[in-house]
Amino acid sequence: IIIQKTPDAGCLLGAKIMAKKVREKPDAVLGLATGRTPERLYGELVRMHREEGLDFSQVTTFNLDEYVGLSPDHPQSYRRFMNEHLFDHINIDLARTHVPAGDAADLQAECRAYEQRIAAAGGIDLQLLGLGRNGHIGFNEPTGSLRSRTWIKILSEQTLEDNSAVFGDMAAMPRHAISMGIGTIIDARQIVLLAFGPAKVRAVMDMIEGPLAAVCPGSALQQHPRATVVLDEASAGGL
């Protein structure tokens, strides 16, 4: 657990950890997250690519999740988020970037195929995570199974409330998402979770000091042999 002064400093540290992995293993498999939290981290990776030649040409990526019903080019899709914040600005081969297809005709088949693609790539070397206000990781909401795999998840009231602003109104907000399961996430060989700001205080306390329990999906990290949690002073305020 590393407490930085500001979210900016936390993002720079997170970027450093990811860049180190890519330098050590140029064909690393990275698990990526969306949300406001990692935006600055992706900005820093872009800077490292431009100014320091950080090379993504052999890197493979798997995103945690995608909203059900959104096409890849929907303004609020996580595919679009990743292209705009990272992929369009680095030398990554887009064919090596994976985001679940939220508009797949057969969603269950897409979930199974996503797990198979991760396995075929050799598993995830380093998984980046954010933390929901209710302790969710990916879209694994409280009470989801700690062993779950990639599947269709029902979004909680809290998440609908937190994420609906960008959709304009609640009616336009998807109610479901495809997400890696907690079991999928925990299989990653290394994990870096970022959580910043006063809104995350309770979730951070539950994740770190609470019991290992499905009511706080983030608490699954307590059992991981190589998980780094990067906080700022605000989110660490309750520890």
Using CB under 6 A as the criterion, which residues of the chain lie in contact with ligand GLP when the complex forms? 33-37, 64-65, 130-132, 138-139, 159, 163
- The residues pairing with 4 across neighbouring beta strands, listed in sequence order, are 232
Annotated catalytic residue: which of 44, 65, 66, 110?
65
Is position 24 annotated as part of the catalytic site?
no
Annotated catalytic residue: which of 49, 98, 134, 140?
134
- CB 199 → ligand GLP: shortest distance, Å? 7
Annotated catalytic residue: which of 44, 66, 141, 206?
141
Is position 65 annotated as part of the catalytic site?
yes
Is position 134 annotated as part of the catalytic site?
yes
Type of residue at 16? K
Q: In the structure encoding, which two tokens stand for residue 105, read together?
A: 């005709």
- CB 223 → ligand GLP: shortest distance, Å? 20
Look at residues 216, 210, 214 and name the one whose alpha carbon lies nearest to residue 239.
210
Q: Which position's Cβ is nearest ligand GLP?
A: 130
Annotated catalytic residue: which of 125, 136, 187, 232?
136
Separation of alpha carbons 138 and 183, rounded Å: 11
Q: Which residues contact 133 (CB under 8 A, 6 or more apart)?
A: 158, 162, 199, 200, 202, 203
Is the Cβ of residue 58 or residue 237 nearer to ligand GLP in the bound state?
237
Is the Cβ of residue 65 or residue 110 nearer to ligand GLP in the bound state?
65
Is the Cβ of residue 130 or residue 181 nearer to ligand GLP in the bound state?
130
- CB 14 → ligand GLP: shortest distance, Å? 12
| Residues belonging to the active site | 65, 134, 136, 141
